[in-house]
A and B are shown apart, each in its own frame.
Chain A
Amino acid sequence: MKNSSRRFLMSLVAGIALAPLAYAHHSGAMFDMQKELTLQGTVKDFQYTNPHSWLIVLVKDKSGAEVEWSFETEGPSTLLQAGIKRSSLQPGDKITVKTHPMKDGRPAGTWNIVTKSDGTTLTPRSAVPGAAAPLPPSAT
Chain B
Amino acid sequence: MRKRSYAIGSCGALAAAVYAIATGAAFADIIDTADPSNPHTTVYATSWDEFQALKAKANGGTKMSWSTLPDWTGLWTRAEGSGLKFDASQKSMEETTAVPSPAYQKKLTKKIADFKKGVEWDQLSFCLPAGYPRWLAEPFLKEFVLRPEESWLINEQLEEIRRVYTDGRGHIPEDEAYPLWEGDSVGFWNGDTLVLHTNNLKKGQFQRLQPDYSEKITTVEQWRKVGPDMIEDVVDVYDPEALAKPWHVVQRYQRVKTPNLRIAYWSCEENNNVTRGADGNTQFLLPGDKGYKDPNTLQDSLSQGAIPDAKK
Binding site for B on A (CB under 8 A): 6-7, 10-11, 13-15, 17-20, 22, 24-27, 29-30, 45, 47, 49-54, 56, 68, 70, 72, 75-78, 80-81, 102-104, 106-108, 127-132
Q: Which residues of A contact B288 (CB under 8 A)?
A: 68
Is B208 part of the contact surface with A, judged by Cβ < 8 Å? Answer: yes
A130 touches B83 (CB 8 A): yes
Partner-binding segment picked from B3-11, B32-40, B62-70, B253-261? B253-261
Q: Are A68 and B287 in contact (CB under 8 A)?
A: yes
B172 contacts partner chain A, Cβ-Cβ < 8 Å: no
| Contact across chains for A50 and B267 when beta carbons are under 8 A apart | yes
Q: How far is the CB of A69 from chain B (nearest CB, A)?
A: 9
**Within 8 Å of chain A (Cβ to Cβ): is B91?**
yes
Q: Which of B85, B140, B260, B284 contacts A18 (CB 8 A)?
A: B85
* Residue in contact with B264 in the complex, picked from A30, A51, A76, CB distance below 8 Å: A76
Contact B286 A29, beta carbon cutoff 8 Å: no
Contact, CB under 8 Å: B271 / A18: no
A132 touches B271 (CB 8 A): no
Task: Find chain B residues with CB under 8 A from A47 CB.
Answer: 271, 295-296
Q: Cβ of A108 and Cβ of B209 under 8 Å apart?
A: no
Interchain CA distance A45-B91 in the complex, whole Å: 39
Does B177 interact with chain A (Cβ within 8 Å)?
no
Task: Evaluate contact between B209 and A80: CB separation under 8 angstroms.
Answer: no
A-B contact pairs, 7 of them (CB 8 A): A25-B122, A25-B274, A29-B119, A54-B271, A70-B287, A106-B286, A108-B284
Q: Are A18 and B84 in contact (CB under 8 A)?
A: yes
Q: Is B192 an interface residue (CB 8 A)?
A: no
Given the interface pairs A25-B274, A27-B208, A50-B267, the reply to whether A70 lies near B286 with Cβ below 8 Å is yes
Residues of B within 8 A of A80 (CB): 258, 260-261
Given contacts A29-B115, A51-B124, A131-B83, 13 further A-B contacts (CB under 8 A): A11-B80, A18-B84, A18-B209, A20-B209, A24-B138, A26-B122, A51-B127, A77-B140, A81-B258, A106-B286, A108-B284, A130-B78, A130-B80
Q: Are B296 and A131 in contact (CB under 8 A)?
A: no
Contact of B283 among A30, A52, A54 (CB under 8 A): A30
- B186 at the binding interface (Cβ < 8 Å): no
Does B141 count as interface, using CB distance less than 8 angstroms? yes
Q: Which 9 pairs of residues, A with B, have the shortest CB-CB distance?
A: A130-B78, A130-B139, A27-B120, A49-B271, A50-B266, A129-B80, A26-B125, A27-B282, A29-B120
**Cα distance, A75 to B138, chains bound together (Å):** 14
CA separation between A104 and B80, bound complex, in Å? 32
**Once bound together, how far apart are the Cα atoms of A132 and B125, in whole Å?**
19
How many residues from B make CB contacts under 8 Å with A? 57
Q: Is the CB of B81 within 8 A of A13?
A: yes
Number of A-B contacts (CB under 8 A): 148
Is B281's beta carbon under 8 Å from chain A? Answer: yes
| Chain A residues whose CB sits within 8 angstroms of the CB of B81 once the complex forms | 10-11, 13-14, 129
Contact yes or no, B141 A77, CB < 8 A: yes
Most buried by B among A15, A27, A68: A27
Among B79, B81, B209, B295, the one with the most A-chain Cβ atoms within 10 Å of its Cβ is B81
Contacts of B22 in A (CB 8 A): 10
Q: 0/1 per residue, B257-277, Cβ < 8 Å to A?
A: 010110110111011101000
Neighbour of B266 across the interface among A27, A75, A107, CB < 8 A: A75
Among candidates B24, B91, B119, B256, residue contacting A17 with C-beta atoms closer than 8 Å: B91
Asked whether B185 is an interface residue with its Cβ less than 8 Å from the other chain, the reply is no
Minimal beta-carbon separation of B294 from chain A (angstroms): 9
B41 lies within 8 A of chain A by Cβ: no
B residues less than 8 Å from A102 (CB atoms): 284
A29 contact from B83, B140, B254, B281, Cβ within 8 A:
B281
Given the contacts A20-B115, A50-B266, A103-B118, A130 and B79 also touching, CB distance less than 8 Å: yes
In Å, the complex CA distance between A29 and B111 comes to 13
Option from A10, A19, A25, A54 in Cβ contact (under 8 Å) with B125: A25
Nearest A-chain residue to B274, judged by Cβ: A26
Q: By the criterion CB–CB under 8 Å, are B121 and A27 in contact?
A: yes
